[in-house]
């Protein structure tokens, strides 16, 4: 997709941006209509600058990490630091 964007003229890029904004606005309007499932794309939320009153109240499931996962991440980080400090003295 990057190559496609590089080949477009400024006018075409501006038009593509307008179309993208129209899509975002329509998705926002659609999400306001359907209170059960918002149709907003995760990647687009920051560009839409949504506030709490614009988004339907949807409960999100909290992500929980197990103790084993936390221990594995901690061990990996300790190993990275040990490797870094071992190479630092050389």
Q: What is the pLDDT of residue 16?
A: 86
- The answer to whether 28 and 55 are in contact (CB under 8 A) is no
Looking at residue 12, what is its pLDDT? Answer: 86
Q: What is the pLDDT of residue 70?
A: 95
Dihedral angle, C-alpha 13, 14, 18, 23, nearest 10 °: 10
> Considering only CA atoms, which of 19, 24, 25 is closest in space to residue 44?
24
Burial zone of 44 (CB within 10 Å; 0-12 exposed, 13-18 middle, 19+ buried): middle
pLDDT of residue 35: 58
Domain count across the chain:
1
Low-confidence ranges of the chain (pLDDT < 70): 1-3, 5, 35-58, 89-90
**CB of 40 closer than 8 Å to CB of 29:** no
Query: Where in the sequence is the domain holding 27, given as residue range(s)?
Result: 2-56+65-88
């Amino acid at each position: 997709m990057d190559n496609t964007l590089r080949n477009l003229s400024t006018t075409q890029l501006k038009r593509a941006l307008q179309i993208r904004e129209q899509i975002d606005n329509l998705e926002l309007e659609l999400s306001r209509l359907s209170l059960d499932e918002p149709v907003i794309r995760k990647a687009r939320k920051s560009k839409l600058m949504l506030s709490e009153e614009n988004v339907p109240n949807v409960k999100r499931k909290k992500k929980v990490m197990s103790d084993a996962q936390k221990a594995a991440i901690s061990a990996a980080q300790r190993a990275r630091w040990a490797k870094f400090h071992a190479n630092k003295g050389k």
